[in-house]
Structure 1
Amino acid sequence: LSSIRACKQVEEAKECLYRFLPQKIIYLNQLLQEDSLNVADLTSLQAPLDIPIPKKEVPTCGFLPGNEKVLSLLALVKPEIWTLKEKGILVITWIQHLIAKIEDGNDFGVAIQEKVLERVNAVKTKVEAFRITISKYFSERGDAVAKASKDTPVMDYQALAAYGELRAMVLDLRALYAELYHIINSNLEKTVNPKGEEKPSMY
């Protein structure tokens, strides 16, 4: 059973390296060319602050909708963040299974495996930081609107990220996919066959 799981994982890792990563880099490059991520007049991104003012006898305010332009970009970016994180975990698990036992002599390949693993983990850490950035944007915009009307349930508290930061995230995602591909592809031989055996145990 463990052998079947290992083989499946190898196939998933190979598909990720040779098909998924290159396609994702191309997709993100195309996404960066779209009008929604190339707005010259940033004032056009402002959301109207139409805070309903209640009458004295009706203290409850209505809901203030979020910035639709920012939310539509979030709908594009957030899945990409999750996907890259998942692929990073897949690659990390795959390399961990490939790491050979360090013995006397011929351990250079193992050292390369560990270095590749370290760099892939660094990519995963960067991706996780994007989620914090998005949450921070929601909080900051929510605080700003709440100051204007403390009684208004601010819907942007549940979804946020500045336009400039979102575009930067897409640029970073593309760069991280390229880095992931370069790291693995440049060290592929030592990663899958660290000891230089005639028949690698996994690949």
Structure 2
Amino acid sequence: MAQAVNDKVKDFKEKCKKEAEHIVLEVFPEKVKELDDLLHSDMFSLKRISSIHHDVNIPVPDPALFNDTEEPTSKKRRIDSEKNHLDISGSLIVGLPNGVSPSNPKICEIIEKLKPSIMELLESSNQVKMWITYLIPRIEDGNNFGVSIQEDTLAEARQVESETATFLDQMTRYFIHRGKLISKVAKYPHVADYRQSIRELDEKEFITLRLVCCELRNQYATLHDIIIKNINKIRIPRSSNVEQLY
């Protein structure tokens, strides 16, 4: 029973090694080319930044006009619509007159385009980590130059994985921040600065996503470069370990 389990673990390790080498030698160069083409496509053209904005679908209401004996229109509206209000920061907000205030579809399109590459790099860097870890020989005195190369490459793969994960967090923070600004526009529709802040945020996100695309390309290229340059030492860190590794 124990031997059967050990054989399965051994087969799993060998499979992981083969898949990781295929990823490094074949997939990484393809992803570098794909992301470089995407970065230079119309989707990420800096000329597009002026048209990246999208209407928040919250009209500016007419100014409330009332005399000293008349109750303010805004107060009447809040009382009449009490059953359909949203409570944000302790203030009542009447439901939006035009319905939903949508996300920026142009930004969403870019995010959906980049997400698969982010997820793929996360998975690939993790697989490369496991591959190198399985190739590290047992601890011995001396002849550790190849092992130090393995450890440096392993550290690079870990850093790539960590930095790539932050891209997903950044996308989430954008939607949260934009939603809060939309809420401000809903509460204070006459304040132009809140509307402008959404435009500025969308422009900033466009530039950030362009940088994300650039970083993804660079991370694929860097990880591929460092492994290819040292692949012999990564595969066989010590000449005395040839029989152990193969």
Q: TM-score, normalised by structure 1?
A: 0.88
Corresponding residue for residue 194 of structure 2: none
CA contact (8 A) 2:167 2:212 kept: yes
Q: Distance in 2 between matches of 1:198 and 1:89?
A: 25
CA contact (8 A) 2:57 2:102 kept: no
Q: Distance in 2 between matches of 1:14 and 1:41?
A: 39
Residue range with higher mean Cα deviation, 35-44 or 112-121: 35-44
CA contact (8 A) 2:28 2:224 kept: yes
CA contact (8 A) 2:137 2:241 kept: no
CA contact (8 A) 1:16 1:87 kept: yes
CA contact (8 A) 1:190 1:196 kept: no
Alignment of 1:95-174 (within 5 A): 95-150=132-187, 162-174=205-217
Structure 1 counterpart of 2:106, which letter? K
The CA deviation at 1:49 is 2.1
The CA deviation at 1:10 is 1.4
**16, 36, 41: which one aligns with 2:43:** 36
Structure 2 residue runs of 5 or longer lacking an equivalent are: 1-7, 62-73, 82-93, 189-197
Give the secondary structure class of the aligned counterpart of 1:49.
Answer: coil
Q: Distance in 2 between matches of 1:138 and 1:50?
A: 16
Q: Distance in 2 between matches of 1:136 and 1:37?
A: 21
Corresponding residue for residue 60 of structure 1: 95
CA contact (8 A) 1:98 1:192 kept: yes
Corresponding residue for residue 222 of structure 2: 179
Q: Distance in 1 between matches of 2:244 and 2:216?
A: 32
Q: Distance in 2 between matches of 1:150 and 1:179?
A: 48
Equivalent pairs counted in the alignment come to 197
1:48 pairs with 2:62 = no
Alignment of 1:15-26 (within 5 A): 15-26=22-33
TM-aligned CA distance change 1:200 to 1:82, over 3 Å: farther
The CA deviation at 1:39 is 3.7
Structure that is richer in helix per residue: 2
Q: Distance in 2 between matches of 1:24 and 1:118?
A: 21
Give the aligned CA root-mean-square deviation in angstroms: 2.4
Corresponding residue for residue 84 of structure 1: 121
Q: TM-score, normalised by structure 2?
A: 0.73
- Residue identity (%): 31
1:4 pairs with 2:39 = no
Runs of 4+ aligned residues of structure 1 deviating over 4 Å after TM superposition are: 52-55, 200-203
Q: Distance in 1 between matches of 2:156 and 2:134?
A: 16
The CA deviation at 1:83 is 0.7
